[in-house]
Structure 1
Amino acid sequence: MGMIRINNLRVHTFNGVLPEERRNGQQLALDIAIKYPIETKVRHDDVHETINYAEVRAITDEFVTTHSYKLIESLANHLLTALLDHFPTVETINVKIRKYSVPMPGIFDDVEIEVEGAPHAK
């Protein structure tokens, strides 16, 4: 089974629990992995036979920059649903969201949320 991946897509959003996060915004990074039967579906070198990753990026960017949640878990779940609704021919979609500016003590690079799902009707 083929995989289409967009790695480390950076977006500026206004998500977070604290009022400062929602007011000032912050950068999030997303990885999107789409399981799709490339081996059997892409036969004619035609973008219409595959999942157009430019379209995946555009939908993701539009969704993430126009929706605001307190939790990146909620953002991940709702984005996953939007992508699955838009691309019903995929096997599964996996979304990872990394948040770098996390207001908690400690030394760490980021906090990451990961969700995965499949379309309801095939």
Structure 2
Amino acid sequence: MGIIKLKNIRTFSYHGCLVEESKIGSDYTVDLEIKTDLRKSMITDELADTVDYVHLNRIVMEEMAIRSKLLEHVAHRIVKRTFDELPQVSRVLLSVSKVNPPIGGDVEAVTIQIEEFRA
């Protein structure tokens, strides 16, 4: 088995419960880690024998572009699509962070993290 990580994927998105957040948007970062079997691709050196991180990045970017009130909701969609589209993925560890959230304080980011295993 092996791990593929995409670190600090940066997006500008419109998530949040406040009306203002749907209009002005905010910066977000996403960290995605998947577990998969890398043994075949280590031998063959073929992209078809592994999980393409371009595909993973596309899933994140497309789901982050769809407005959600809660980070938990957008994170769930990313995990679901990853499992639906990439059957060789056995585990997903995902963090979604809103940079400089409007919570009335000096906070660098607020982050939710979820870990899911293929059923």
- TM-score, normalized by length of structure 2? 0.92
Q: Which runs of 4+ in 1 moved over 4 A?
A: none
Q: CA deviation at 1:59?
A: 1.9
- Which range is displaced more, 19-28 or 102-111? 102-111
Q: Take 1:63 and 1:72, find their aligned partners in 2: how far apart are those partners? A: 11
Gaps of at least 5 residues in structure 2 are none
Report the Cα offset of residue 105 of structure 1. Answer: 2.8
* Deviation readout 1:58-108 (Å, 9 max, x if unpaired): 12112211x111111111112111111111111201110011131213333
Q: What is residue 79 of structure 1 aligned with on the other side?
A: 78
Distance 1:2 1:85 in 2: 19
| Separation in 2, partners of 1:63, 1:20 | 20
Q: Structure 1 vs Structure 2: percent identity of aligned residues?
A: 27
The 2-side partners of 1:27 and 1:15 are apart by 10
Task: Give the deviation of 1:52 after TM superposition.
Answer: 0.3
Q: Write the distance in 2 (CA, Å) between the matches of 1:26 and 1:103.
A: 9
Aligned residues: 118
More strand by share: 2
Q: Tell me, in whole angstroms, the C-alpha distance in 2 between the residues paired with 1:63 and 1:2.
A: 25
Q: Give 1:11-50 correspondences, 5 Å limit.
A: 11-38=11-38, 40-42=39-41, 43-50=43-50
3-state SS of paired residue (1:91): strand
Question: 2:110 aligned with 1:106, yes or no?
Answer: no
Which residue number corresponds to residue 68 of structure 2?
69
Question: Alpha carbon RMSD of aligned pairs, Å?
Answer: 1.2
Q: Measure, in 2, the Cα distance between the counterparts of 1:109 and 1:81.
A: 28
Alpha-carbon distance between aligned partners in 2 of 1:74 and 1:58, rounded to the nearest angstrom: 18
TM-score, length basis structure 1: 0.89
CA contact (8 A) 1:85 1:119 kept: no
Tell me how far apart the structure 1 counterparts of residues 73 and 22 of structure 2 sit (CA, whole Å): 14
Query: Matched residues in 2 for 1:19 and 1:119: separation?
Result: 35
